[in-house]
Amino acid sequence: MASQDWFDKDFYKVLGVDKTASDAELKKTYRKLARQYHPDSNPGDAAAEARFKEISEAYSVLSDKEQRQEYDQVRAMGSGARFTAGGPGAQGVFGGMFGGGGGQRVRFGQPGNGRGGASGFEDILGGMFGGGGGFGQSNGGYRGFGGPTKGANVTASTTLDFATAIAGDTVKLAQGNGRTVNVRIPAGVADGQKIRLRGRGQPSPDGGEAGDLVVTVSVRKHPVFERDGLNLRVDVPVTFAEAALGATIQVPTLGGEPVKLRVALGTPSGRVLRVKGRGVTTKKGTGDLLATVQVAVPSHLTDKQREAVEALAAALPDEDPREDLLAKARG
């Protein structure tokens, strides 16, 4: 900050504290004002943002022991004093105070920068607005007066086989610079899910936190299984005789040996049989395998087979299985 600004700005007045205010009093007052005028609390309010910058600037100087001492010395000379850069008078008066070099500027940075000052904006506003290494939004939004900006995120995509997505794997992705990065795909990743690798994106342009690598996962369809949340679904064909008389059948599992299931006598098409614990496993839990019974109807019958079916139909009760459906439809 130019020392001329220090003549013109009354930081104590900006914060509304006395010149003898203690560090604790400064901190308490700043907390209150920062919470009131922070841009996150006043979205789109330019006046609040300007006020927030003023109080941040004031606290940045007054919370640092050395800067506050220098500021008090400059202010003690009187607000009417003026000087220009490079002039011998300016260097003579301010050279020792500001370390030489014409004396027209002093360093202005956030507290907690290693100069022995107060704890800094991060400590004060970290919990207040969810910051961690800067107050404000962590996704590259408002980060406070003079704070570093986060690097840009980098997006990528990968396509996995169905079984690989369920089991999890580590894949290599090529970056724009020709290098590869290993990405751990967690077990049970879903189609369209995004995986974020923090700090693997573009570097910050001003020394801040690097951006993230965001990988979108696509999952190929499986010829047999379909995912339903944490459950896996599979259609299992059975013959008319198996459905009518009951049977024990084999049902495939993903990545394992088939399991045996009992089809009860008179099982209709569409009934779901459940195999516990043979679905998708993630941190949220493990699903089941849901086997849907589909009665397979033969498309070609010999004369002898047709006669047998006709004999069965004649022997069955004379009833219409659609009678209840039609009655409900008529209301």
Residues 197, 274: one domain? no
Distance of CA 136 to the CA centre of its chain: 16
268 located within any domain: yes
Residues 320, 249: one domain? yes
- How many CB atoms lie under 10 A from the CB of residue 65? 14
148 located within any domain: no
138 located within any domain: no
Over the chain (331 residues), the average pLDDT of each successive run of 10 is: 64 91 90 85 84 87 86 69 41 41 36 42 48 41 60 91 94 78 92 92 86 94 96 96 95 94 95 96 95 93 92 88 89 81
54 located within any domain: yes
Range of the domain at 262: 226-330
Give how many domains the chain has, as a whole number. Answer: 3
139 located within any domain: no
37 located within any domain: yes
135 located within any domain: no
Q: pTM to 2 decimals? A: 0.53
Distance of CA 126 to the CA centre of its chain: 18
Residues 241, 205: one domain? no
Name the domain boundary from 193, 219, 245. Answer: 219
Residues 85, 7: one domain? yes
Residues 274, 181: one domain? no
Q: The domain spanning residue 116 has which CATH number? A: 1.10.287.110
Residues 215, 119: one domain? no
Q: Cβ(11)–Cβ(61) under 8 Å?
A: yes
* Chain segment 242-290, per-residue pLDDT in tens: 999 999 999 999 988 999 999 999 999 999 999 999 999 999 999 999 9
Residues 249, 276: one domain? yes
* Cα–Cα dist 153/170, whole Å: 21
Residues 16, 115: one domain? yes
Name the domain boundary from 202, 219, 236. Answer: 219
* Chain segment 92-128, per-residue pLDDT in tens: 334 444 444 433 333 333 344 443 444 444 445 544 5
* Cα–Cα dist 139/201, whole Å: 12
Q: The domain spanning residue 208 has which CATH number? A: 2.60.260.20
For residue 55, what are the contacts with CB-CB under 8 A and spacing of at least 6? 14, 15, 30, 33, 34, 37
